[in-house]
């Protein structure tokens, strides 16, 4: 039998590519599973939920304003759907913020600090109050549960009658300016600049009389977390 030589045009025998089992079709390259916790849709959804809850709004309230279904809003808040630009704009308007605030946490690094410049805190409305005051939310948290909520509170209208607030957790108030009579349960406390009051949030509380305006104070609500 003649030996094959280079240049004779003969080709080496074809070898089938190896597969995982040695037979059948090629096994596709494995891709790492997507980490849903890093999803931009989830970042946006968490911010939307935090803004909604800080204003004591229900899913139906916000969905109606944004002209989407409550089910769609629920999926959006949990990152199970990526909203269109039109939906982002409609949702931001329903929450009373700009689209940039709604998207402020998209792509943000975990563990990063959050800076709120003077005058840039989200203005929110507390249930039962209408005029002569503002509540600025100083931080928007990530995560499925509230840990704390810091507010810069300004009160100007002496004639307003405030309702009694109740909420989970503990509240911490630090007076910056003005003189305020603040009720907690059966007791009333006169608060002046530099004074601090800490109390349980599940007992009815709130401003009783505005003695000297404008009143400015820091309010920090700390929610209990589950122990694992």
Whether the CB-CB separation of 193 and 175 falls below 8 Å is answered with: yes
Sign of CA dihedral 57, 37, 221, 225: positive
Question: For the purposes of burial, counting CB atoms within 10 Å of the CB of 127, is it exposed (0-12), middle (13-18) or buried (19 or more)?
Answer: exposed
Distance between CA atoms of residues 121 and 136, nearest Å: 5
Question: pLDDT tens digits for 128-166?
Answer: 445 556 777 887 666 556 788 898 999 988 877 777 888
Statement: residue 219 has pLDDT above 60: yes
Alpha carbon 210 to its chain's center: 32
56-82 average pLDDT score: 92
H or E element in which residue 126 lies: none
**Of 38-47, 83-92, 147-156, which gets the smallest average pLDDT?**
38-47
155: β partners = 133, 215
Per-residue confidence (pLDDT) for residue 27, from 0 to 100? 39
């Amino acid at each position: 039998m003649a030996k094959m030589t280079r240049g004779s045009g003969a080709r080496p025998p074809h070898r089938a590519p190896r597969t995982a089992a040695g037979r059948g079709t090629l096994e596709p390259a494995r891709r790492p599973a997507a980490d849903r916790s890093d999803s931009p849709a989830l970042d946006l959804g968490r911010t939307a939920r935090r803004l909604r809850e800080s204003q004591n709004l229900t899913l139906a309230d916000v969905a109606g304003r944004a002209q989407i279904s409550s089910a769609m809003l629920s999926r959006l808040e949990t990152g199970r759907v990526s909203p269109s630009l039109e939906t982002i704009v409609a949702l931001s308007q329903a929450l009373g913020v700009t689209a940039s605030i709604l998207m402020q946490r998209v792509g943000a690094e975990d563990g990063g600090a959050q800076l709120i410049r003077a005058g840039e805190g989200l203005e929110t409305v507390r249930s039962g109050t209408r005029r002569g005051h503002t509540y600025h939310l100083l931080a928007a948290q990530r995560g499925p549960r509230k840990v704390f909520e810091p507010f810069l509170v300004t009160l100007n209208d002496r004639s307003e009658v405030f309702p009694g607030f109740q909420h989970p957790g503990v509240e911490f108030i630090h007076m910056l300016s003005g003189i305020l009579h603040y009720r907690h349960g059966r007791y009333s406390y006169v608060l002046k600049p530099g004074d601090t009051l800490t109390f349980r949030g599940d007992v009815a509380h709130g401003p009783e009389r505005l003695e000297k305006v404008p009143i400015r104070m820091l309010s920090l609500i700390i929610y209990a977390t589950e122990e694992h």
